[in-house]
Amino acid sequence: MEQENLSSRYRRPVEMGEIGPLVARGRTPSGGHRKGQSTDAGHRDGPACSSDEGPVMGLEPRGRAGQVDQRSTPSGEELKERPKQKVKSFDVPKRLVFEAWEKVQANKGAPGVDAVSIAEFARAERDNLYKLWNRMSSGSYFPGPVRAVEIPKDHGAGVRTLGVPNTVDRVSQTAAAMLLEEKLEPIFHPDSYGYRPGRSAHDALGVTRKRCWAQDWVLDIDVRSFFDSVPHDLLLKAVAHHTDERWVLLYIERWLKAPMQMRDGTLIARDKGTPQGSPVSPVLANLFMHYAFDRWIDREFPGCPWERYADDIVAHCDTEEQARNLRSAIASRSGPWVSSYTLTRPGSCFVKTRTDRGMRSMSASISSVTPLGGAWHVVGVATS
């Protein structure tokens, strides 16, 4: 009795010549008709059934391991999983890289250290742009050194060193600059004119001319060697405040630290400054000066309108006392941080007033300038 109640899967195999009542009537145990039903299958691990056979204990359920879906492929082979598409570390739009390349082509320019000209880069445009995009997207892009080029300054006041990046680095920098300009242009001050679309030095001079007739005193500030002395840490903090694109922050840091190759092949490491001549430098300089000067003077001296073209600044004052107070405020902002962030360079301030007898000026020499936090700090001012 106990054996009769056991599950059907443990029943003995059907002996040869022994046919069950359902099979005798041409039906399978599941109720379906089977022509030539096999009776020698044995238990579930027995010999495989032919195409017209079913297992003795009924049809096997769908989806069991090892069962081939005949509908999957014409040959009856199992479908293989499609390889998952690799996800890039950074989402760098291809369209942005291409538009940056078009802008670099339009601006022309000399080759960098690798001597690859724009024309040579364009011969393999598709491959070069894809390689650049792929490396920027994966985080494996590293800029090359910048080529140092010396040009004479105006009025014979020495030479200015420009940093010329490789063509491929110009494309990548232009892409980042385009992305930053889109976010930063709306916040930049209307009296900032340097390196901004739709603005020029002539626009700044026109506004200066009008304001000189409204206010008698002018404080003219020329911050020299600004591009060579911007602190990297403060600049990167300012960039991080306005973008959450990790690839922009990563590559700006790499561009800032890329060494400069001199004419004799010597590589000079850089721990401060952003080289003049690179596409991303102007927007970075404006961003730093936005916090270093523009917002500070608006907050502290709202009655002193000003114009700024890059690092050349003119501020207008109503009285000599107001002009002197502004000059003193700029000088006193260094505080105790001078020893940490002092950037020494030559410079000059001029306080001018218009009188019936012509222009009268008083000058003060700036022995050092310290960019700190949200303002430029002038140290060691000596009046003449």
Distance CA 377, CA 331 (A): 6
Mean pLDDT, residues 186-214? 93
Asked if 172 and 180 count as a contact pair (C-beta separation under 8 A), the reply is no
**Greater confidence, 52 or 117?**
117
Q: Is the pLDDT of residue 343 over 50?
A: no
> Which of 53-57, 75-79, 328-332 has the highest mean predicted lDDT (pLDDT)?
328-332
**Greater confidence, 220 or 380?**
220
| Tokens at 355, concatenated | 């009188």
Least confident of 44-48, 91-95, 251-255, 266-270: 44-48
- Residues above pLDDT 70, as percent of the chain: 62
Spell out the SS3 assignment of the chain. CCCCCCCHHHCCCCCCCCCCHHHHCCECCCCCECCCCCCCCCCCCCCCCCCCCCCCCCCCCCCCCCCCCCCCCCCCCCCCCCCCCCCCCCCCCHHHHHHHHHHHHHHCCCCCCCCCCHHHHHHCHHHHHHHHHHHHHHCCCCCCCEEEEEEECHHHCCEEEEEECCHHHHHHHHHHHHHHHHHHCCCCCCCECCCCCCCCHHHHHHHHHHHHHHCCEEEEEECCCCCCCCEHHHHHHHHHHHCCCHHHHHHHHHHHHCCEECCCCCEECCCECCCCCCCCHHHHHHHHHHHHHHHHHHHHCCCCCEEEECCEEEEEECCHHHHHHHHHHHHHCCHHHHHHHCEECCCEEEEEEEECCEEEEEEEEEEEEEEECCEEEEEEEEEC
Asked if 256 and 232 count as a contact pair (C-beta separation under 8 A), the reply is yes
Q: Is the pLDDT of residue 263 over 80?
A: yes
Q: Is the pLDDT of residue 9 over 50?
A: no
The closest alpha carbon to 144, from 177, 111, 110, belongs to 111
What pLDDT sits at residue 82? 64
Residue 93 backbone zone (phi > 0: left; psi -120 to 50: alpha; other: beta)? beta
Distance CA 199, CA 203 (A): 6
Least confident of 35-44, 150-159, 340-349, 356-365: 340-349
Q: Is the pLDDT of residue 61 over 70?
A: no
Distance CA 381, CA 350 (A): 12
> How would residue 349 be classed by pLDDT, with cut points 50, 70 and 90?
very low
- Computed over every residue of the chain, the mean pLDDT equals 74
Q: Is the pLDDT of residue 137 over 90?
A: yes
Residue pLDDT, tens place only, 289-326: 899 889 999 999 999 999 999 888 888 998 888 888 88
Residue pLDDT, tens place only, 323-339: 888 888 876 664 332 22
Q: Is the pLDDT of residue 174 over 90?
A: yes
Mean pLDDT, residues 208-226? 83
- Strand pairing report for 343-344 and 348-355: unpaired
What pLDDT sits at residue 191? 96
What pLDDT sits at residue 350? 40
pTM greater than 0.75 (yes/no): no
Residue pLDDT, tens place only, 354-372: 333 333 333 333 333 333 3
Q: Is the pLDDT of residue 250 over 90?
A: yes
